[in-house]
């Protein structure tokens, strides 16, 4: 039986948001008539409508099982007395988009928001998974503020190959680095290429997609225990059915994202991000999602939380295991139970219960090989740290859990690349003036660079150094880095070079000081010289004059604001 609770008296189901013909009765009559052309009965059309925003696409390998998940969601909605109606949105297949999926995250968020608002639905299921799709859906749903619940794609399974398990995409990078260093040949790398990503689902490690799945569950926007279930596991289909069922109840309770995504649940999500050694991209995405709910995330607060939140899981790229191992080890619930003393337990989730009620009711199984107790963590402090200084007045990020602590307190000589093309042209040239003690600096790869902040922050070790055995060195940029990558890499330097930030003023041979313990990143060049360089600086790109490219360049914000558009954040 459906209770309409807070919604009684307001139009629901197909009667919501009528098309405007100047006669509401005619609008509803016409809508029902056209809906009946799809074969629905009168009884079905009287049910509450659950929209299913689905992002399957031939250009998205991670979502290739969505037709099956969609069927299971519909089954759940029908069983609970609702009418499921799916609708397509933009899909963002990470490796199929140019210049980068990041450029289109906000476009997808607009699509999701506007289609939720424009179409008659009492609740919505958000069916997403690949890196940018989950934040885009959460951003759109938070702005539309219709009852919403997320169903995640689930991770790929790693597969055995020549005696070891391989999974996208930390192993992709590991073997590519080996190939670049001459450790394996062209035939071998081609064979590996066919064995890195072999099932449906998102990247198998704690990359951006897995981190965002954990964040969706920690925020309370996905059902408990669903973040880590492998894409091809039968439990994923059961989670889909349960999500559909719950969506009908969400509609009846009018439980909206604005009650779930709050300052306190965002802080819970930040704790989880730090405890899982999650992707640096996730701080951008969580900032953008929180911004849609009117919640600001300060990088100074990130540092406070990071210093008090240990890394509890041992997943690649920082550890040994894969997401499917985390699922078998107890899933996100096992991590949340360890973090319980640090969490805001009064936060409401999509179940209608609080986080505290969830954790009290959960069984206690945990595999300590994968999830450590709070008192005996893998690392005593959180995975991410924000840096500030003369090179990054508005901040920068380092994933210290994936970096070499021996490189944390250093002064080095800058070896500067002024663009991605410059990097590609010169990084492997034999006469590049570089040693393993230098700092590689990439400019003009931020949000307004024309490349839309690509995952280029994982600058390759110059070939001549890689061949001589150098495995890590300090690298820095205004770019992002894939969540599956690792190394002593400073990212998201803000303001970026393309808007004239101090990063734009760095020249070959400058001294730069990095101190992770002091949270500092400083350019050791005097003000007079910087003033001369600033006076000679010119913007590196001509902004596009039309289309989405213009909208993006006119409105995208810097990294500390999550790269959302200025007009989409909640005032």
Give residues in contact with ligand FES (CB under 6 A): 62, 94-95, 130-131, 169, 202-203, 207, 209
Q: Which is nearer to ligand FES, 159 or 345 (CB)?
A: 159
Q: Which is nearer to ligand FES, 209 or 385 (CB)?
A: 209
Q: Which is nearer to ligand FES, 204 or 385 (CB)?
A: 204
At closest approach, how far in Å is the CB of 440 from ligand FES? Answer: 25
At closest approach, how far in Å is the CB of 215 from ligand FES? Answer: 14
Q: Which is nearer to ligand FES, 130 or 282 (CB)?
A: 130
| Whole-number Å distance between alpha carbons of 243 and 126 | 10
Q: Which is nearer to ligand FES, 379 or 484 (CB)?
A: 484
Q: Which is nearer to ligand FES, 140 or 201 (CB)?
A: 201
**CB proximity list for 381: less than 8 A, separation 6 or greater:** 306, 307, 308, 309, 310, 311, 400
| Contact predicate 131/228, CB 8 Å | no
At closest approach, how far in Å is the CB of 239 from ligand FES? Answer: 18
Q: Work out whether strand 439-442 and strand 409-417 pair parallel, antiparallel, or are unpaired.
A: parallel
At closest approach, how far in Å is the CB of 127 from ligand FES? Answer: 14
Q: Which is nearer to ligand FES, 50 or 152 (CB)?
A: 152
Direct distance between the N- and C-terminal alpha carbons of the chain, in angstroms, rounded to an integer: 38
At closest approach, how far in Å is the CB of 309 from ligand FES? Answer: 25
Bridge partners (DSSP) of residue 85 are: 51
Q: Which is nearer to ligand FES, 101 or 306 (CB)?
A: 101
| Whole-number Å distance between alpha carbons of 359 and 333 | 7
In 7-88, which residue ranges form alpha helices assigned H by DSSP?
24-36, 42-45, 66-79
User: Both tokens of residue 272?
Assistant: 């989880």
**Helix or strand or coil: residue 250?**
helix
At closest approach, how far in Å is the CB of 133 from ligand FES? Answer: 8
| Whole-number Å distance between alpha carbons of 206 and 256 | 29
Q: Which is nearer to ligand FES, 207 or 395 (CB)?
A: 207
**CB proximity list for 529: less than 8 A, separation 6 or greater:** none
From edge to edge, which strands make up the β-sheet containing 123-128? 83-88, 49-54, 123-128, 148-152
Q: Which is nearer to ligand FES, 131 or 241 (CB)?
A: 131
At closest approach, how far in Å is the CB of 207 from ligand FES? Answer: 6
At closest approach, how far in Å is the CB of 50 from ligand FES? Answer: 26
| Whole-number Å distance between alpha carbons of 252 and 384 | 40
Q: Look at the chain and count its residues.
A: 571
At closest approach, how far in Å is the CB of 62 from ligand FES? Answer: 3
Nearest to 560 by CA among 453, 474, 426: 453
| Whole-number Å distance between alpha carbons of 475 and 442 | 8
At closest approach, how far in Å is the CB of 324 from ligand FES? Answer: 14
User: Both tokens of residue 46?
Assistant: 């009287």
For 549, other C-beta atoms within 10 Å of its C-beta total 15
| Contact predicate 472/439, CB 8 Å | no
């Amino acid at each position: 039986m459906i209770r309409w609770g807070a919604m009684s008296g307001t139009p629901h189901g197909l009667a919501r948001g009528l098309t405007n013909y100047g006669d509401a009765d005619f609008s509803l009559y016409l809508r029902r008539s056209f809906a009946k052309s799809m074969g629905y009965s009168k009884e079905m059309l009287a049910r509450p409508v659950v929209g299913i925003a689905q992002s399957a696409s031939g250009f998205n390998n991670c979502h290739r099982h969505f037709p099956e998940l969609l069927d299971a969601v519909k089954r759940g909605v029908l069983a609970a007395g609702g009418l499921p109606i799916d609708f397509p949105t933009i899909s963002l297949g990470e490796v199929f988009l140019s210049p980068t999926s990041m450029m289109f995250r906000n476009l997808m968020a607009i699509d999701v928001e506007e289609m939720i608002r424009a179409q008659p639905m009492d609740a919505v299921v958000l069916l997403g998974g690949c890196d940018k799709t989950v934040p885009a859906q959460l951003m759109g749903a938070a702005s539309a503020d219709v009852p919403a619940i997320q169903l995640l794609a689930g991770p790929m399974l790693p597969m055995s190959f020549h005696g070891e398990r391989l999974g996208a995409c930390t192993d992709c990078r590991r073997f590519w680095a080996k190939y670049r260093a001459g450790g394996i040949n062209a035939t071998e790398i081609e064979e590996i290429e066919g064995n890195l990503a072999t099932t449906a689902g998102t990247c198998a490690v704690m990359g951006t997609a897995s981190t965002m799945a954990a964040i969706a569950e920690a925020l309370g926007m996905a059902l408990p225990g669903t973040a880590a279930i492998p894409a091809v596991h039968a439990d994923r289909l059961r989670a889909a059915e349960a999500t559909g069922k719950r969506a009908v109840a969400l509609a009846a309770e009018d439980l909206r994202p604005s009650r779930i995504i709050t300052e306190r649940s965002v802080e819970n999500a930040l704790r989880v991000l730090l405890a899982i050694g999650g992707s640096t991209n996730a701080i951008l995405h969580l900032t953008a999602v929180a911004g849609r709910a009117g919640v600001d995330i300060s990088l100074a607060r990130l540092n406070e939380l990071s210093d008090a939140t240990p890394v509890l899981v041992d997943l690649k790229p920082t550890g040994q295991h894969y997401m499917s191992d985390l699922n078998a080890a107890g899933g996100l619930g096992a991590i949340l139970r360890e973090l319980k003393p640090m969490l805001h337990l009064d936060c409401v989730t999509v179940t209608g219960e609080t986080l505290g009620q969830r954790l009290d009711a959960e069984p206690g199984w945990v595999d300590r090989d994968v999830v450590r107790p709070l008192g005996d963590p893998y690392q005593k402090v959180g995975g991410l740290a924000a840096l500030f200084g003369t090179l990054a007045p508005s901040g920068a990020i380092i994933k210290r859990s994936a970096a070499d602590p021996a490189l944390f307190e250093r002064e080095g000589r800058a070896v500067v690349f002024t663009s991605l093309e410059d990097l590609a042209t010169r990084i492997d040239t034999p006469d590049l003036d570089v040693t393993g003690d230098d700092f590689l600096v990439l400019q003009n790869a931020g949000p307004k660079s024309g490349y839309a902040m690509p995952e280029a922050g994982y600058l390759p070790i110059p070939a001549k150094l890689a061949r001589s055995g150098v495995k890590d060195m300090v690298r820095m940029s205004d770019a992002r880095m894939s969540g599956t990558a690792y190394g002593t890499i400073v990212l998201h330097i803000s303001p970026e070079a393309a808007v004239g930030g101090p990063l734009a003023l760095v020249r070959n041979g400058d001294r730069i000081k990095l101190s992770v313990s002091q949270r500092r990143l400083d350019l050791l060049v005097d003000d007079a010289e910087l003033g001369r360089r600033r006076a000679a600086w010119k913007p590196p790109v001509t902004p596009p004059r039309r289309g989405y490219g213009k909208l993006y360049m006119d409105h995208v914000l810097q990294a500390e604001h999550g790269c959302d558009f200025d007009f989409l954040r909640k005032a």
